[in-house]
Amino acid sequence: MKISVSKGPLLHVVTAIGGIVPTKSTMPILYNILLEAEEGQDGCLKLAGTDLDLSMSYRMKATIERPGAITIPAKKFGEIVRVLPNSPISIEQTGERIKIVCEKSSIVLPGLPKSDFPAFPEKSFDGALKISNAVMRKLVLHSSYSAGREEDRQILKGVLWEIGKDELSMVSTNGHRLAKMTVKESLGVKDSLSVVIPPKALELVDGLCSEDGQLEVVIDKNHIGIREGDAVIFSRLIEGTYPNYEQVIPLYNSKTVLLDTQKFIDALRRMLILANTLTHRIRLFFKDNQLKVSVSTEEVGEGE
């Protein structure tokens, strides 16, 4: 393999894929990123990474002098690309090593063969559901932050995506707080369906979405596949039955408040400095058309 590629696009892709490469694994190959130069009229470089639950591949433009494929350490490769000059980068494979050249810099990295790299799920995007990037971003932004962490039940670590005939909802909860976002949007499904997706997969999708593009989505029993342009993401779905969150959302509420969004956010940010780092608990006191935001944390301080 011998190719030449622009630094900017390469760094963007390597950074995104590097985010799913595990920090600890019993399989050394998972620390690597796959580079595969493909011949053709429009030569391209395919990059891919996986932690077995979440996988991503990306095809980008490149000048292909000689096709080939190899896997190399993702973290080191990303660090190297980041500090190289803003000039074309040459990557040449010799056996199980690659040589990276940019202007006067020359770096050699060891690699492992492509045959050791896990295969991606074989999914066709024929008949895929189509959703605008703007709608997906809105759903993710306003829902995924309440998902559970490592200490929570497995099902609570995911984000519930409900796809109805004329609306879409995303829900997450850790058992103490709950976030739900609903938008009126039809994806053309005949029957409603729901899946539980790891937040990491949604964060990766959000980071790759262009401003006005469109996502293609395919779903089966165990996986969800999402494609946007040259990027393809596959994620294993979280198994289990999501809790009946609707029973904790009041159907009727006589108390409603209308306030200035930015002023409220500014007040919360100031009080969060003094809040407990685990619970982030802040007190809201409403009286006489006024809102008082306060916090009191032992050994840290108090404010309002």
Q: What is the pLDDT of residues 255-293, one digit of tens each?
A: 888 999 999 999 999 999 999 887 788 999 998 889 999
Q: Which are the contacts of 74, defined by CB distance < 8 A and separation ≥ 6? A: 14, 17, 18, 21, 31, 32, 33, 49
Mean pLDDT of 129-143: 92
pLDDT confidence of residue 112: 95
Mean pLDDT of 104-123: 91
Q: pLDDT band for position 151 (50/70/90)? A: low
Q: Where are the beta strands (DSSP E) in 246-282?
A: none
Mean pLDDT of 59-84: 95
Q: Which are the contacts of 73, defined by CB distance < 8 A and separation ≥ 6? A: 31, 32, 33, 109, 110
pLDDT confidence of residue 128: 92
pLDDT confidence of residue 41: 60
Q: How many angstroms separate the CA atoms of 275 and 294, rounded?
A: 9
pLDDT confidence of residue 238: 95
pLDDT confidence of residue 78: 96
Question: Which domains occur in the chain, in start order?
Answer: 2-116 (3.10.150.10), 129-248 (3.10.150.10), 261-303 (no CATH)
Mean pLDDT of 236-244: 93
pLDDT confidence of residue 150: 73
Residue 225: pLDDT above 90? yes
Strands 168-173 and 214-219: unpaired
Q: What is the mean pLDDT of the chain?
A: 91
Q: Lowest-pLDDT range, 12-26, 32-46, 71-85, 190-204? A: 32-46
Q: How many angstroms separate the CA atoms of 170 and 172, rounded?
A: 7
Structure pTM? 0.84
Q: How many angstroms separate the CA atoms of 109 and 72, rounded?
A: 7
pLDDT confidence of residue 204: 86
Mean pLDDT of 116-134: 89
Cβ(230)–Cβ(59) under 8 Å? yes
Dihedral (CA of 109, 113, 117, 122) sign = positive
pLDDT confidence of residue 109: 96
Mean pLDDT of 181-190: 92
pLDDT confidence of residue 175: 85
pLDDT confidence of residue 253: 82
Alpha carbon separation from 84 to 3, 17, 53, 87, 102 (Å, rounded): 16, 19, 31, 8, 7
